[in-house]
Amino acid sequence: MKLHHALLPLALALSLPAVAAGPAPARHGLTPEEMIYLDRYSSPTLSPDGRVLVFAKRVVDRATNKASSSLWTRNLVTRDNVPPRQISPEGWNVNSPAFSPDGKTLYFLSGKSGSSQLYAMPSDGGEPRQLSNFPIDVDGYKLSPDGSRVALAFAVFPECAADLACTKKKLDEVAARKASGVTFDRMFIRHWDTWNDGRLNRVFSARLGGEGQLTTATLLSGGIRGDIPSKPFGDLSDFAWSPDGKQVAMSVRQANREEPWNTNFDIWLVNADGSGARNLTAANPAWDAGPVFSADGKTLYYRAMKRPGFEADRFGLMAMNLADGKIREIDPQWDRSADGITLSADGGTIYTTASDMGQHPLFAVDVTTGATRKVVGDGSVSNVALAGDTLAISRNSMRSGDVIYTTGTDGHSSLRQITPSAQDMLPNVAWGEYEQFSFTGWNNETVHGYVVKPWNYEAGKKYPVAFLIHGGPQGSFGDGWSYRWNPQTYAGQGYAVVMIDFHGSTGYGQAFTDAISQHWGDRPLEDLKAGWAAAQAKYSFLDGNRACALGASYGGFMAYWIAGNWNRPWKCIVSHDGVFDNFLMGYATEELWFSEWENGGTPYDNPEGYQRFNPANYVKNWRAPILIIHGQQDFRIPVEQGIAAFTAAQRRGVESKFLYFPDENHWVLKPANSLLWHTTVNDWLRKHLGQ
């Protein structure tokens, strides 16, 4: 059994609050409440010389059910007995830190003034100064290389052009209307959890310097009708300044009637005054993302997919010669999909993360040869920052949420822990030990999974099982941490956990990922059956007669599919925001490219593709008690899918419950709602499995 430990540095020990003497609380498994209200650490940001680290700390106020973030700083040159200190003012809610090029100023966003605006303060501490006073929120920003200008992201009405006050006026007029009806003449009418009000995300530029606040800005993306940042989860990693500050590159998809079934993001090159927009990647009809200029400005690095309409295609690392437009794929032999690009100072190495065999490591890719090596291997790495020879990363695992570390770029330096892990913050929690296993699945190919022991494991005993099924479906239940589907919360209730990375999962090669498309109900189910059998054969502590199957999104689809096609092993089933009627899903979801790729066309051109694996067609076989959960604001898989499934169960006389959230989207994010979610699920398991 492979154990995962993290040592608590002296700096952290000194920074933790003192605890009054007394008997230590009893050891116990992780509770949902402990997980939900854990402090969270993010946004590692290095000063240009790599000597100072700034990061964000998020805390939840239980009384208000709201979270707030503060900025903390750590001098990396001092010894470990000097703990991090808060640098943002007490009571402010701040985010998105960035250093000025000389390292003397720290920028960030805050809503302190009543709207999200840009602030600056001395990087070693001091009073913040509000830099912007725009009539609408600043949604994101990025400094130019010399620090003289700042790119600013706003959501604006296209007809208002660069007049931000015009957008504010139109929003106020809509709010004052007595009638609430809205007319649409093209999609998207809604996306993820937001109805389309006609605004586009666009990037502006403003000059920094002087004592006055920024009130005017130049529109940079006006010649491109599309969202930058992209919706719903984009950020300004898809925007880059050239080294001389005279040009910008940005990845944008055209906002037209084809947008809902189109994954064609292109990289545009625009002059810093907003003129001369030029599409650099028009020849590629698939997704181009994440532009990064070389230090000399002659090369543009970016990531590219090859198949239009497929959101889970492999992202290859590309290099474009800006003088002649010639493009070279850097890593054609690397069968992994790069998450981002962090370029070394000498331009010879790209640092990127990628899913890999149930882990999510940090890799270094040689720009010339495409050769790759792991820099940080175990767990799941994200949020990579680089300054000189110092790397700062966030890393999580099945035993902790994100912990911020620093390390060297050589791949041999030890990790230096900067922020506490969940183990540090919850010293009395006993964590479920876990290990990866493999077996033969569909097509006689090797498939992997994880088994987690209950927190109170004793050799020779058998334990009921939570069989977790991941979503995506192009995703993975690997060695990572989730605040929504966390195997430790099940281990903490005394259950063993089994998770299978069935065909379609990421990190095992693109062919493995591709295998699920148009095969939602057969190949993955074959893997799940084989994995369940293999786990029971290998781990004698699994009680196969006391097990429940649980999943969300695609995992929720599979929970419904299992209910009608493989229900015998399960004492109960849980489906969260799952696809129940696959045919209706093809018309009701917002990102149509997903359903059309996964089912082999549109519902009207290929109805058989949608009906082949449609859980709604197998309700007559349902028998296992089922808990159905859905959020009203889920526009990816609309709430009617959950209501229909509950109706089916009730009409069939199958024991069932429906947990409805009027204010949650595809995820359950509000702390009190998350606690209710976990309480309801655990009560359902306890009723049918015991414990």
24 confidence band (pLDDT: 50, 70, 90):
low
The β-bridge relationship of strands 265-271 and 278-279 is: antiparallel
Helix count (H) and strand count (E) of the chain?
A: 13, 38
Lowest mean per-residue pLDDT among 13-17, 483-487, 549-553? 13-17
Q: What is the pLDDT of residues 288-299, one digit of tens each?
A: 999 999 999 999
Band the pLDDT of 152: cuts 50, 70, 90. very high
Tell whether the model's pLDDT for residue 647 goes beyond 50.
yes
| Model confidence pLDDT, tens digit, residues 179-229 | 999 999 999 999 999 999 999 999 999 999 877 899 999 999 988 999 999
User: Would you say how long the chain is, in residues?
Assistant: 691
Domain at 434-689: CATH architecture = 3-Layer(aba) Sandwich (3.40)
Strands 626-631 and 656-661, bridge-based pairing: parallel
Contacts of 422 (CB under 8 A, 6+ apart): 30, 35, 38, 399, 400, 401, 429, 481
Kindly give, in sequence order, each residue whose CB lies less than 8 Å from that of residue 20, ignoring residues fewer than 6 positions away. none
If pLDDT is split at 50, 70 and 90, which confidence band does 161 have?
confident
Confidence bin at 10 (pLDDT 50/70/90): very low
- High-pLDDT (> 70) share of the chain, %: 96
**Mean pLDDT, the chain, whole residue set:** 95
Closest to 96 in 3D by CA, of 83, 84, 111: 111
pLDDT band of residue 19 (cuts 50, 70, 90) is very low
From 12-21, 45-54, 226-235, the region with the lowest mean pLDDT: 12-21
pLDDT tens column, 95-128: 999 999 999 999 999 999 999 999 999 999 999 9
* Mean pLDDT score, 452-458: 98
In 192-260, where do the E strands start and end? 194-195, 200-207, 218-219, 239-241, 247-253
User: Strand, helix or coil at 405?
Assistant: strand
Q: Count Cβ neighbours within 10 Å for each residue of 300-324 and write b for 16 or more, e otherwise.
A: bbbbbbebbbbebbbbbbbbbebee
Query: Residue 413: what pLDDT?
Result: 80
Domain ranges of the chain: 434-689
Distance, CA of 32 to CA of 214 (rounded, Å): 44
**Model confidence pLDDT, tens digit, residues 307-345:** 999 999 999 999 999 999 999 999 999 999 999 999 999
Mean pLDDT, residues 582-596: 98
Which whole number is the average pLDDT over 574-603?
98
Residue 534 near residue 437 (C-beta atoms within 8 A): yes
- Specify the residue for token string 């949608």: 610
Confidence of residue 5 (pLDDT cuts 50, 70, 90): very low
- What average pLDDT does this structure show over 483-493? 97
Q: What is the pTM of this model?
A: 0.95
The amino acid present at 527, given as its one-letter code, is D
